[in-house]
Chains A and B, each alone.
Chain A
Amino acid sequence: MRKLTRREMLRLMGLGAAGAVMAGCATPTPEVIRETVEVEKIVETTVEVEKEVVVEKEVMVTAVPEQAPVVDVTITTSGWPVSVITDEAVEANPLDGVTRDAIQAYLDQNPGVKLEQKDVNIWDPEGIMAQVVGGTDVTYLYGPCVGGGWGRGEAVNAFVQGMLAEITPLVFKYGMHELSLPHLWENWSTNSQVDGKYFSYSLNEYAPSAGTLHYRKDLINEKGLKEPEIGWTWDEAVELWRALTDESTGMVGIGAPTWFMAYHLGMHGWDLLTQIPAPSSPWHWERDLTSDPRWVELCEDYHALLHVDKAILSDVAIGGGDEDWQRLFRAEQIAFGRFNYWAMFGGPGTEDSHHAMARNLGKDFSEVFGAVSLPTGDGYQLGSGVDIWGPVCFSPNNDAQTHDKGVGLVHWMFWGEGIAMNKQGLWEASKDPTQVYNAFLYMDGRESHPGVPATPEDAFGEALVQRWKEIGMLPIEPPPDKYYPAEQNPSPSGQAIDDQMNLMVTDPGVTDFAGMLRQGQDDWMAQVGGFASSVSEAQFVVASQNWYAAMDEYLKTHYPEFYENRFKPFYESRVLPVIS
């Protein structure tokens, strides 16, 4: 065991004495805090002084635990999730000054810690990947981009390859596991680790699920149509999109990137019912897209919606990102769009936000916009209510102390006193609830902020807030990652299958859907011939038994129609025989 130095011993004694007095003392005044420094100096130099200090002076020491020892740490950021706010930025937008004060409060309490902003684009997968390797990245990273994409899988891939730092002790040191609502912690915790090692820290704010659609409530009402409800079916969705499509005005029911067809099939259980465990094969998985005629029917239906009814707009030239689609959404060219939660509430001050559109229309936010979960297909709901993870990851090029202070700052700004300071300051400076609530679902369960009399309902309307909360309460599907060991070897992509779906979407002349599915399947199976999993056959079998059993229970409980008609026959005929 390491011996304590004299200095450490004295400090501990000082803190101990202070702690004892703290319990009986009133909150220290700022003046008292100023004295703290002096006392600490005395403690460091003479024992006698410490003895004399005893009562009066240690009141001020109550502030000592909040002011960490001086360290020389530079946290670097690209501007997310915290930024260095300049005087010019504050001049342009005085509300930024509030956030700057909250960040500064953290830096004041952590002497020696500096926050620097670097011109690094962490949202550019190829760029940031190279910067991480070259050591020119920043402390805060968005994990999926480091792994080359936008999903959790890419973040895991990056972490497994050592391109994201492990921060397990810090997750527990700062205590988000105690602050989170238990069910949210369980979900976050499962998704944010690999084999017990955590690779990210949460922003507290979370989105219910990426599987949601935004719609123009005003346009639906204008046509006298019924708004969708949670649990609506694919058939109801199709009917509504057809009714909204109007060639005379150029409006289309839904705007969807070309990859939305995979979503459409996913809404009918595509991934679940086309992946077959094959424990004895090197990769352990096979794909079967052709045995079940239901997939051909669904492909034909989607194709007809695109090219006959023209109720779905897809175009390679529009691309797969959200920006162009949001522009069409605002221009009333599409009535539905697949956007994420943040797109709805962000940027109240900017002219390309949902807020600005509502303002320009002279309507309340809740009169213009609605949100709904993805429609159910064959009784199955794709997208759990909560499927949260990360999202703040950390550079492997920083040392442990930088990670500590970096996590500390995120914790301060999103979980700790910083968020309270920031939100209260924003309210006092703007009296605008939309400035305060750019998100209103928090892992720690808070529904408002101290010192802010306004609520999210004031900002966005009760119905809309309630709708998001309901989406957040949809049951959570058992995540495979909780059951299967992390894959260490290169994995095949789904590109071969995606290519065929993309052709179905873009080519109006397609007729041989079965042939295209077969082509996708054959190409994928050919590719898989070159891959071998790092998971042993025995591990895979056990993991599969557990995961499928959990899925069996989950579907039986929540989606019985899908369970009886689709999953159970598949499970019994294709899965159980190979994993039993």
Chain B
Amino acid sequence: MAQNPPLAVETLEAPQVEVTAPAQELSRRSRLERWLFTIPALLFQLFWGWYPVVVAFYLSFTNSRLMRMPDFVGLENYIRLSYDPLVTKAFRVTFTYAGLSIILTFMIPILVGILLMEMPSGTRRWMMLLWFLPLSGIASTILWRYMYNVRYGLFQNVIRSLGFPEQRFLNDPKMVLFWLIFPGILFYGPGLIYMAALQSIPTSYYEAAEIEGASFWRKIWTISLPRLRPVISMMLTFAIIGGLQEFTWLQIMTGPTGDPGGAARSVVMYIYQPLWSSLRLGDATALAVILFLVIMVITMLFRAVFKEDPDA
């Protein structure tokens, strides 16, 4: 049997092509323009972004007073906070709230978005309108507060009429965080962003999958979710930061001290009341710095772990 000659192994080396942009000297005018466009943003970021951060770090080591020059006190504020059991409690509440909030409100909009994409376009528009209806933040917050009233509220009346045991809603220290997150499950505006991302996935991917016999869930798992990864990564980052910084919603719903008994008092609420309100500005700033570092570390860890590339 004639043997085929061995295949010649040839190493083909691609010619080293140095790709360089044509060397173009920017004109003086262009350089000037570049700087003129950059400087306003740079100044804005410097004064409104980085300067407060640097000052906050400095103030956290002082006995800062609003109308007087602060004195440097070293780690005194941080040491005082370390004595305070309410700081630990506030961090516990914050992590629980952020965790619950991400678990309960993050996945549902993605699934709903995917399901909406399966609907006829007319139905989809109506559903989007109903679900993502923009509501005034404060107005809806106040409405929710009334609905949670244990005596006269809508929910209690519904529960009573259905024969279920009465709920304590915002008065229940064990359940208060759930009831605070509950509206977020029903109304989650950023779901629109997922819709936009889903619409940008080429239909040919799904068509190809269908030809191969992929099921509905298989398509979601192998096409939709991976393609949504960059958006999910960004939204999750925002959700983590937002959850850890939550203030307004908790403050309006449960009062300045996060009742009942501080069960809904986040770190930012504690920074504000009682630290800031009693003019313990050094303590308040020190706690803000601690929170900043915590958020930074968590965000960095998340970014390191979560792969954004849809093809990874």
Using a CB–CB cutoff of 8 Å, the interface residues on chain A facing chain B are: 125-126, 129, 132-133, 147-149, 154, 157-158, 161-163, 250, 258, 313, 315-320, 396, 490-491, 493, 495-496, 498-500, 502-503, 505-508, 522-523, 526-527, 529-531
Give, as a whole number of angstroms, the nearest-CB distance from B54 to chain A.
19
Q: Which of A133, A317, A502, A531 contacts B67 (CB 8 A)?
A: A133
- Contact A396/B173 with A498-B257, A526-B84 known, Cβ cut-off 8 Å: no
Q: Is the CB of A506 within 8 A of B173?
A: yes
**B263 surroundings in chain A (CB, below 8 A):** 503
Q: Is the CB of B85 within 8 A of A523?
A: yes
Q: Is the CB of A162 within 8 A of B67?
A: yes
Give, as a whole number of angstroms, the nearest-CB distance from A440 to chain B.
33
Contact with A along B259-294 (1 / 0, CB 8 A): 111110000000010101111101100000000000
Separation of A506 and B253 alpha carbons in the complex (Å): 15
Q: Is the CB of A317 within 8 A of B277?
A: no
Q: Is the CB of A506 within 8 A of B283?
A: no
Q: Is the CB of B170 within 8 A of A502?
A: no
Q: Is the CB of A527 within 8 A of B260?
A: no
**A498 surroundings in chain B (CB, below 8 A):** 257
Give, as a whole number of angstroms, the nearest-CB distance from A299 to chain B.
13
Separation of A220 and B82 alpha carbons in the complex (Å): 52
With contacts A157-B279, A316-B260, A317-B146 known, what are 16 further pairs, Cβ within 8 A?
A: A126-B276, A148-B277, A162-B66, A162-B67, A316-B176, A317-B145, A317-B150, A319-B255, A396-B67, A490-B279, A495-B86, A496-B85, A496-B86, A499-B261, A507-B173, A522-B85
Q: Is the CB of B283 within 8 A of A529?
A: no
* Cβ-closest chain B residue relative to A520: B261
B68 within 8 A of A: yes
B149 within 8 A of A: yes
| Chain B: interface size category | 35 or more
**A523 surroundings in chain B (CB, below 8 A):** 85-86
Contact with A along B84-114 (1 / 0, CB 8 A): 1110000000000000000000000000000
Separation of A230 and B260 alpha carbons in the complex (Å): 33
Contacts between chains A and B (CB distance < 8 A), count: 127
Q: Is the CB of B280 within 8 A of A317?
A: no
B65 within 8 A of A: yes
Separation of A250 and B157 alpha carbons in the complex (Å): 14
Separation of A523 and B261 alpha carbons in the complex (Å): 13
* Cβ-closest chain B residue relative to A252: B151
B80 within 8 A of A: yes
Q: Which of B80, B170, B283 contacts A317 (CB 8 A)?
A: B170
B248 within 8 A of A: no
Q: Is the CB of A315 within 8 A of B171?
A: yes
**B67 surroundings in chain A (CB, below 8 A):** 132-133, 161-163, 396
Q: Is the CB of B257 within 8 A of A502?
A: yes
Give, as a whole number of angstroms, the nearest-CB distance from B183 to chain A.
13
Separation of A434 and B27 alpha carbons in the complex (Å): 79
**A154 surroundings in chain B (CB, below 8 A):** 278
B217 within 8 A of A: no
Separation of A495 and B253 alpha carbons in the complex (Å): 18
Give, as a whole number of angstroms, the nearest-CB distance from A250 to chain B.
8
Separation of A508 and B153 alpha carbons in the complex (Å): 19
Give, as a whole number of angstroms, the nearest-CB distance from B301 to chain A.
30
B219 within 8 A of A: no
Give, as a whole number of angstroms, the nearest-CB distance from A425 to chain B.
39
B172 within 8 A of A: yes
Q: Which of B66, B172, B173, B253 contacts A133 (CB 8 A)?
A: B66
Q: Is the CB of B279 within 8 A of A526?
A: no
Give, as a whole number of angstroms, the nearest-CB distance from B306 to chain A.
36
* Cβ-closest chain B residue relative to A134: B66
* Cβ-closest chain B residue relative to A319: B255
**A162 surroundings in chain B (CB, below 8 A):** 65-68
A-B contact pairs, 9 of them (CB 8 A): A126-B276, A147-B279, A162-B68, A258-B260, A316-B255, A493-B278, A500-B261, A502-B259, A507-B173
**A506 surroundings in chain B (CB, below 8 A):** 168, 171-173, 259-261
**A508 surroundings in chain B (CB, below 8 A):** 168
Q: Is the CB of B171 within 8 A of A530?
A: no
Q: Is the CB of A531 within 8 A of B80?
A: yes
Q: Is the CB of B277 within 8 A of A507?
A: no
B79 within 8 A of A: yes
Give, as a whole number of angstroms, the nearest-CB distance from A459 to chain B.
33
Per CB-CB distance, the 10 closest pairs between chain A and chain B, nearest first, are A530-B80, A148-B277, A503-B261, A162-B67, A506-B260, A530-B83, A506-B171, A493-B274, A499-B261, A502-B261
B62 within 8 A of A: no
**B259 surroundings in chain A (CB, below 8 A):** 258, 316, 502, 506
Give, as a whole number of angstroms, the nearest-CB distance from A489 to chain B.
8
B61 within 8 A of A: no
Q: Which of B254, B257, B283 contacts A495 (CB 8 A)?
A: B257
With a 10 A CB-CB cut-off, give which of A250, A491, A503, A531 has the most chain B CB atoms: A503
Give, as a whole number of angstroms, the nearest-CB distance from A451 to chain B.
44
* Cβ-closest chain A residue relative to B171: A506
Separation of A250 and B156 alpha carbons in the complex (Å): 15
Q: Is the CB of B257 within 8 A of A527?
A: no
